[in-house]
Amino acid sequence: MEMVKDLPRLFDFTETPRNGTYSNGMTDQDVISVDQFDRAKLSYIFHRSREMIEMVERQGSCDLLKGRVLACLFYEPSTRTSASFIAAMERLGGSVIPITQGVQFSSVSKGESLPDTIRTLEQYADVIVLRHPEAGAAQVAADAASVPVINAGDGTGEHPTQGLLDLFTIRQELGAIDKLKISMVGDLRYGRTVHSLTRLLMQYDVSYRFVSPEILRLPMALMNELIDKKMKVRETHDVADVIENADVLYITRVQKERFSDPTQYEEVKDCYKITPGIMQRAKQRMALMHPLPRVGEIDPAVDSDPRAAYFRQVKNGMYVRMALLAAVLGKA
């Protein structure tokens, strides 16, 4: 290529190197499943998350990820996950390619495959966050990518970053995780947030209480994992059986979009509702959580109860995702 003589350089590359110096075991790694996180990694991410809280409260934003680009690719609707990843990247000084509301207007509508879309986006981005309706899609994307892929929910499979923020919220609300009684209520069959949190909690000394209609019970494969690990587990159909002893009451929406038979959905959609009356029977020190959105599972009158942690849970999502982004990009 012919060079232009005596043209001054636009950029000075003698400053701080682009790559970080942290040996966190997560740099350049995909985040596909909660199974990637042992207690040491969880403690590490939670420590960094608390640092992110302090930074945001003190100064709002920083330049930790200045010059880095995140591609947000969402094939399913999202409010909290997409917005929190975008906010996380921007508060750390990075930039975002947001394909969160219009996948139908991208080349996907022309029949482009997921691997080809991923290979395209990695030409522009340093990390890709993917939500997809098919279980296993995040691993397909990771196999195609040369940059880290973070699973933001793959069908009925997993939602690892939601599991991490849920676990972080439990610790923030109650101070510890071991010895707690965790009650999960609602759609345990299709609820990927339940699946991820259940797997993470296997690393702790907790008791599980699963509350659901018969057709929405926890998948047998996951139940067998709990049994094989000798975890303490009980199942019931009635919230009244668990409310008085629950340290954490984790409520989930019955997901209409997961039902092939609308009649089945209508039969179970209103099976549980947490009201101020039910909360009167709960412990004074406990956490009521929900991954949101809610469509009637928690009466809005409960929102003012100091034990209602679900909007604090939402905010924690940004901090945990800030820590994850910094970690996989070698800056934390």
Domain ranges of the chain: 34-157+317-328, 160-315
Rg of the chain, C-alpha, whole Å: 21
Dihedral sign, Cα of residue 223, residue 251, residue 164, residue 146: positive
Of 81, 161, 198, 252, which is the active-site residue?
A: 81
Instruction: Report which of 120, 65, 119 is spatially closest to residue 95, judged by C-alpha positions.
Output: 65
Q: Which residue is catalytic, options 5, 58, 110, 230?
A: 110
The span from the CA of 282 to the CA of 243, in Å, is 5
Tell me which of 48, 68, 91, 131 is the catalytic residue.
Answer: 131
Cα separation, 137 vs 76, in Å, equals 12
- Catalytic member of 80, 258, 273, 283: 80
Q: Which two tokens stand for residue 259?
A: 């039902």
Beta-bridge partner residues of 289: 250
pTM of the model: 0.91
The reply to whether 131 belongs to the active site is: yes
Alpha-carbon distance of 98 to 70, in angstroms, equals 8
CB contact at 8 A, 188 and 216? yes
- Any catalytic annotation for residue 159? yes
81 carries an active-site annotation: yes
**Lateral strand order in the sheet of 69-74:** 95-99, 69-74, 127-132, 149-154
Give the separation between CA 62 and CA 79, rounded to whole angstroms.
24
Name the CATH topology of 34-157+317-328: Rossmann fold (3.40.50)
Query: Looking at residue 41, what is its pLDDT?
Result: 96
Strands 207-211 and 181-185: parallel
The span from the CA of 188 to the CA of 252, in Å, is: 8
**Cα separation, 63 vs 61, whole angstroms:** 7
| Among 48, 68, 132, 159, the one annotated catalytic | 159
User: Pairing mode, if any, of strands 248-251 and 181-185?
Assistant: parallel
Per-residue pLDDT of the chain (332 residues; tens, 9 = 90+): 566 777 777 777 775 555 555 667 899 999 999 999 999 999 999 999 999 999 999 999 999 999 999 999 999 889 999 999 999 999 999 999 999 865 554 556 557 899 999 999 999 999 999 999 999 999 999 999 999 999 999 988 899 999 999 999 999 999 999 999 999 999 999 888 999 999 999 999 999 999 998 889 999 999 999 999 999 999 999 999 999 999 999 999 886 665 556 666 666 667 789 999 999 999 999 999 999 999 889 999 999 999 999 999 999 999 999 999 999 999 99
Domain 160-315 in CATH 3.40.50.1370? The answer is yes
Q: What is the pLDDT of residue 208?
A: 98
* Res 110: pLDDT: 59
For residue 190, count other CB atoms closer than 10 A to its CB.
18
Same CATH topology for 34-157+317-328 and 160-315: the answer is yes
Instruction: Please tell me the predicted confidence (pLDDT) of residue 271.
Output: 79
